[in-house]
Amino acid sequence: MADRRIPANELFDPAFLASLASLRIVAGRVAPRGRHAEQRSRDLGGGLEFRDFRPYAAGDDLRSIDWNIYRRLGRVFLRLFEEMEDLPLYILPDVSESAWVEDPPRIKAGLRTALALASISLNQHDRVGVFPFAEDLRVAVRPRAGKRSLFGLADEMAKLEPGGRTDFTKSMHKLASLRLRPGVVAVVSDFFDPGGIEAVIEGLRRLRHKLVLIQLVRRTDVEPPVEGDVRLLDCETGVGEDLSVTPAVLAGYRRAYDEFQNALGRFAQSRGAGLLRLDVEQPVVAQLATLFEGGRLVV
């Protein structure tokens, strides 16, 4: 069988990385117990930026006492400062069999998108992990930080191979079971699942992370180039279906596709998730940048 992996040198190059330099992913607050970085934490501690006061309690660090208030009011208060920590980014590229067919295959745009997001996060000292999924989810790269980590991520993504049929419910359940520190989950997929959009949404609902959904699309999704009597083969199972493609059948398909798109959009809106429909036949970065209003993606 031919090797269908995407070489690392086709996933990114210096110009590709340079085009991402002005983009940032910004959180309102990040979960505590991370590493020092650039995001504002929910914790208050020994950071640099003053935020609030609170009364002293036994066991508190005496170095945080505001002695000016004590001299003026005779009461002991602590000065609280914002901790700056990292925002974990967990990237989930869809590697199901359907991502590797067509020309160009969706997997190529998907992995370029995944690397672009990874580069943005690593540039701002956040940690990035990669969790490819299909009929199940696995840990390809445990969360790591450092700009140099991008080359290791690219090498690991270049090793990815087709993973069978899509199972959002099982894959998202697996991710939820890992009990990762709360962060951002970026799902890069066409969001097609044998169980329909209901299975996709049920799987995503399990995740207690901020969500960014990158839907890989192409023009033929809504306007399939078929007519007359055809035999359609499921590219993930090989199961065939004989069909007479008439104008009425195509109209019914378009209605179903529109409802699929609308349902995914409604879910994204209900979760406050970023949703980008990325045309796999067009350059990735220009489309990805539309998620970043003023160069910032606020999650």
3-state secondary structure 129-188: EECCECCCECCCEEEECCCCHHHHHHHHHHCCCCCCCCCHHHHHHHHHHCCCCCCEEEEE
pTM of the model: 0.81
Q: Which fold has domain 8-27+87-295?
A: Rossmann fold (3.40.50)
Q: Which residue, 192, 218, 210, 191, is CA-closest to 287?
A: 218
* Rounded mean pLDDT for each run of 10 residues along the chain, 299 residues in total: 80 88 74 43 46 69 78 79 74 96 94 96 92 97 90 93 94 95 95 96 94 96 91 85 91 96 98 96 94 87
- For the chain, the domains span 8-27+87-295, 36-85
pLDDT (0 to 100) of residue 91: 98
pLDDT (0 to 100) of residue 232: 86
